[in-house]
Structure 1
C-alpha cells in the first residue's frame, strides 16, 4: 500500500519582491522576447524575426519537421530550462523574484505539456536542479535566514523539494493520462573546496578521487560544508520509487575538476563507471572535455579505446575490487566481449593485480588497452594476453586499463 503523502498546498505562490525597488519590465522588453509554451495558432517554420513572442510548441514542431520525431531518430530529449533556483541570481535582470515550489511545478508542467503535444515520443528532463541545497529547498526558503525556517517547504507539507516535485508530476500525469516527466535530472559538482576546479596538488587530487564516492556510497561523509552522506544516485532512486515509480534518473551537468592533471582523467573514468553500474540513464559532462585532455581520454577508454569505435558494453556486469579505494573495477557485456575497466587511482605507485573472471569463459586472447601518465597523449595497445580463469597483470600508477575478453555470443 502506498504511503499517504501530504497534500500539496499553494500558500506561498506569490511574487517574491526580488530586488527592492527594481521593476524588471524595462529590461525584459530591452533584452528578451517573451517565451510562451503554446502558440494556440497554426505553426510556421520560419517565424518573423520581429515577432512579439516565441512559442516553444512551434519550436518543437520546427525541430520535428527538420529531423523527425524523437521516436524516429529526431531530437530525443528536452530539458525544461536550467537551474531554476538560480534564476534570481543568474537572470536577475529579467527574473529577480526567487522561485518557489509552486512556480517550479507550474512552469515545468506548462512547458512539458507543450512539448509532448507536438512530439509525444520526446523524453522530458527536469527539474535540472543545480546543487545540494536545491534538492531539498526552494529559493523562497532561503528567506533572510539562509534556510533556517524553510517557510515554502513547510507550506508544502514539509516535503523536500525534489520528492515534492516528483509527486506533483505524478498527480498531474494521473489526471491527464500523459507522462510529463521521463527523467528526473539534477546537476552534481563536488562541493569540497578546490575539487571542481582545475587545481591539482597531492591533497586536492586525493580528495577528488574520494569525492566520486558521493555519487553512490551511503557511508561516505562529504568532505565539504555538507558534512553528511550525499549518496546521490541511490537517494534519487529512492525518491523516485516513493513518489513517481518508473521515472528514470539523470545527471545532466557534472564535472569532477582537475584540468589537465592525471587526477581529472581518473576521476572522470571513475564517474563514468559509477554511472553505468548504478543505472544512471543519462549523464552529461559540463562543458566538454578538451580534446587530448585526461578527461577526454577517459571517455575514449569507454567509447573508442581501439580507435575502431569499439565501445564498453551496454549491459553492466557485477565486478568487485578487494581494494576499491586504490584500484576500482567496472565491467560490462557487449556484442562478443566482456569488458573490464581497471582504474589505478594511486598517483605514486603501480600495483600487481590478479583478475578473476569467474564464470566468464574466454574464447580467445584478451585484448589490453591502457592510458596512463607515462604516455598522456595516447591510448596504448598492449600485447594480448592468454585467457585463463584469472589474469595477472601490473597496472601503472595513475592509469586506466581496459581488458576486452572475447566470449561466445
Structure 2
C-alpha cells in the first residue's frame, strides 16, 4: 500500500511538472514561407551629405549586425525633396531647405553593401524644394536649438511667434523656397538612376519606393502648401498619376502605399472614414485598396505591390509593448490602445478592440483584387515609448521580426533605434534560416518559438522569446517530422542587457551568451530567463520518414535533370510524388513514381527543368493516406535566357525567342506608359520557340515584352 501511494505521488508530481512546462511542436513542412531578408531593416542609416560620410567602423557594424534593408527617404523630408538639386524642405524645422543628396547615399550603399536593399520614394504633393536662400535664420534666433516653435512656417520670410507653438505670427511664402513638381518630375529619378546615361545604379537593389509619406496628415506636417487636407479621392488621383508613370519607366518596381502614419489613420482620412462615390463609408485603407483595384482594372496597369503602414503606439508599459506584434495578424488580440478601428464597421463602436490590420487588409485585397493579387505587407516606421529598458525593447523587436517572418512580411524598418535592437537584429539576421515554418506553443502569450529551416531541411534555428517580465519558463520542444542529429545543440541567449550601455560591437563582440543542450528522444528542453531570447542552432539528419530513404540524388543531363532514389523497408509506401520549386519554398508536383520496386531503386527524369535553380523533394504517400517528405535537393540548370528579342532596336518586325516549359504562354506587349498594346497566346512544346511580331503600327518609343515572370524591353524606331 505504501509503495502504491508513493508511486502515484511521484506520477502526479511528474504530470504536474510536465504540465507546467511550455510545450512546443515544430513542423518543418507546415506554414512554410520564405523569410524576406528585408525585415532586417532600419531608417536613416546613411548620410545624404557628401561632407559627412558614414565612418568605416559604422559600415562594418551594419555588416556585422546583418542590416539588409535601408530606408533612406527621410520620412517627412521626402515629401518636398528635389532630387535634381539635392535639397529638401524640412517641415519639422521651419520648412528650411537643406542639402539632401540621394545620389550620394544610393551610390555609397551600393559600394559598401552591394547585396542590401535601399528604399527611397516619390513626391506626390506637387511641390519640391527650390532654394535655401530664404531659410529662417535659426542660428541667429537661438543657436539652432530645438524649442516648441520648430514647426512654425518661417522659411520664406515668416515672422516668428516667440511664445512657441506651431503657429507663426506670419507664415512664410512657400513660393520663396519651393517649385512646382509633377509626376514627371518625381519619377524621372528612375531614368537618372537606372536609365541610359544615368548613374548606372542597380535597380534590383532599389526596388521598393514609398508613394510619398503619411499623406493622411499633410495638412499638419505640410500645411505650408496643404493648409486644407485634400480629399481622399484627390490623393488617389495624385497616387495614380505617379504610379502609372513609375511603372512605365521601371516595370519591376515595387510600389508601396499608402504609408499611413498610425492606427487612427489606418481607418480614417482626417477625422472620419471615407465616403465613396456610392455613398457608403469605408475605412481609409479599405477605400485605398478598393480604388487601386478599380484603377488597375480600368487601366490594365499594376499600381500597388506592398501595403506599407506606420505604427506609433503610446504605451510605456513593458507588459503592453511586448504584445504589440499581435496588432497586425492576430484576430483575437484585444489592443488596449484601439481607437481608429472602432469605425471599421461604419459608425463608432466602442466595443471593437481587435486590430488584425493586415488580416483585414488581406480580406479587402481578396475582395477587390481577387486571391491572386500578389500584394504583400510591410511596416516602414514604428517605435515604442519604452525608456531605458533594453530587455523589453529586445523582446518587442524580436517578436515583431518573428511575427513578420511567420506571415511573409516584405520589409520592416523601425524609425528609432534603441539599445537592445542591434543585438536582436544580429541574432535574427545572422542565425535564422531562409524558411519560416510552423511552431506552436502551449503558452503563446508568453513564449513564442520563431522557427526557420534551410532549404535542405537539415538545419533549424528556433528563436525562443520569453515575454514574461518576471518568470522563467521551461520549454520542451518536439519534432514530429525532423530528426535531430545525435550531437549537442548550441544556444545563443540575450538576457539581462545593461541599461544605458550599447553591448553590440561586432559579430564576435556582443552580449550573446553561448551554451549547449543535448537532445533526448528527438526532443529538446531549455529554460528561459524572464525577458530573454534564446536561439537554438539545430543540426538534423533529415526529415522523419515512414521508410528508410537510403539515397536521393540529382544530376544534370542533356536538357534534363535525373533524379535517383533508393529505399529499404518501404512500410506500405504506395507512391512517390516528385515536387519541384523555383525558390525552395513553394513546391508543385511534376510527376509520380509508383512504389513497390523489387530492389527499392527508382528514377525520375525532369525533361523540362527551370532555367535557373531547381529545388526537388519527394512526397512519400502511404496506404493510410499519410505522407512525409524527403530532404530538398537543389541544382542549377543554366540554359539560355528564357526570353530574347531581336533585332533591337527594330522598325517593323521583332522576333521573340522563348525557352519555357511546355504549355500555353501569354506574351504581353506594354508601352512606355504602362498600357497593354498587344497580347499573343502561344503554345510551347518545351523546346525553343520563336515568333515574329508586327510592330509597324506602333508609335516610336520603348516597349516591354512580358512572358510569365520574364520581362525584356526593346526600342521601336523610324
* 1:211 aligned residue: 324
Deviation for aligned residue 1:236: 1.8
Deviation for aligned residue 1:255: 2.2
After TM superposition, list the pairs within 5 Å mapping 1:25-44 onto structure 2: 27-38=173-184
Partner Cα distance (1:223, 1:60) in 2: 43
* 2:408 aligned residue: 279
Q: Does 1:345 align with 2:475?
A: no
SS in 2 for 1:383: strand
Deviation for aligned residue 1:74: 3.6
Provide, for residues 135-155 of structure 1, a one-character-per-residue CA deviation record: whole Å limited to 9, x for no partner.
Answer: 22322xx2xxxx3xx574576
Partner Cα distance (1:93, 1:101) in 2: 19
* 1:397 aligned residue: 530
* 1:299 aligned residue: 425
After TM superposition, list the pairs within 5 Å mapping 1:29-178 onto structure 2: 29-38=175-184, 55-64=185-194, 65-68=198-201, 70=203, 73-139=204-270, 142=271, 147=272, 152-153=275-276, 157-178=280-301
Provide, for residues 336-381 of structure 1, a one-character-per-residue CA deviation record: whole Å limited to 9, x for no partner.
Answer: 4211110111222322221222222123432211111167833334
Structure 2: which 5+ runs fail to align? 1-167, 340-351, 504-509, 543-630, 632-718
Partner Cα distance (1:393, 1:225) in 2: 36
Contact preservation (8 Å) 2:329, 2:356: yes
Which of 347, 359, 367 lines up with 2:481 in the alignment?
A: 359
* 1:233 aligned residue: 358
Q: Give 1 or 2 for the bigger CA radius of gyration.
A: 2
Deviation for aligned residue 1:91: 0.7
Partner Cα distance (1:66, 1:367) in 2: 46
Deviation for aligned residue 1:69: 5.2
SS in 1 for 2:491: strand
Partner Cα distance (2:293, 2:337) in 1: 34
Moved more, 268-277 or 168-177: 168-177
Partner Cα distance (1:91, 1:57) in 2: 21
User: How many corresponding residue pairs?
Assistant: 343
* 1:194 aligned residue: 315
Structure 1's 274 and 136: CA in aligned 2 closer, same or farther, altered over 3 A? Answer: same
SS in 1 for 2:512: strand
Structure 1's 329 and 153: CA in aligned 2 closer, same or farther, altered over 3 A? Answer: same
Partner Cα distance (2:384, 2:479) in 1: 30
Contact preservation (8 Å) 1:131, 1:188: yes
SS in 2 for 1:229: coil
Which of 223, 226, 231 lines up with 2:336 in the alignment?
A: 223
Structure 1's 35 and 278: CA in aligned 2 closer, same or farther, altered over 3 A? Answer: same
Partner Cα distance (1:295, 1:259) in 2: 13
* Higher helix residue share: 1
TM-score (norm 1): 0.77
Contact preservation (8 Å) 1:56, 1:114: no
Deviation for aligned residue 1:100: 1.7
SS in 2 for 1:171: helix
Contact preservation (8 Å) 1:57, 1:117: no
Deviation for aligned residue 1:383: 2.9
Partner Cα distance (1:257, 1:313) in 2: 31
Provide, for residues 284-323 of structure 1, a one-character-per-residue CA deviation record: whole Å limited to 9, x for no partner.
Answer: 2113x24xx112212111012xxxxxx3123111011111
Deviation for aligned residue 1:156: 5.1
After TM superposition, list the pairs within 5 Å mapping 1:3-14 onto structure 2: none
Q: Does 1:255 align with 2:368?
A: no
Moved more, 82-91 or 164-173: 164-173
* 1:328 aligned residue: 448
Structure 1's 69 and 170: CA in aligned 2 closer, same or farther, altered over 3 A? Answer: farther
* 1:243 aligned residue: 368
Q: CA RMSD in A?
A: 2.6
Which of 380, 391, 398 lines up with 1:269 in the alignment?
A: 398
Structure 1: which 5+ runs fail to align? 1-21, 39-54, 196-203, 305-310
Contact preservation (8 Å) 2:304, 2:375: yes
Contact preservation (8 Å) 2:470, 2:530: yes
Provide, for residues 120-144 of structure 1, a one-character-per-residue CA deviation record: whole Å limited to 9, x for no partner.
Answer: 11110011112223222322xx2xx
Structure 1's 188 and 170: CA in aligned 2 closer, same or farther, altered over 3 A? Answer: same
Partner Cα distance (1:58, 1:109) in 2: 16
Structure 1's 176 and 318: CA in aligned 2 closer, same or farther, altered over 3 A? Answer: same
Structure 1's 165 and 273: CA in aligned 2 closer, same or farther, altered over 3 A? Answer: same
* 2:604 aligned residue: none
Moved over 6 A (4+): none
TM-score (norm 2): 0.45
* Higher strand residue share: 2
Partner Cα distance (2:257, 2:274) in 1: 23
Deviation for aligned residue 1:183: 0.9
Deviation for aligned residue 1:270: 0.7
* 1:383 aligned residue: 515
Structure 1's 390 and 74: CA in aligned 2 closer, same or farther, altered over 3 A? Answer: closer
Partner Cα distance (2:193, 2:415) in 1: 24
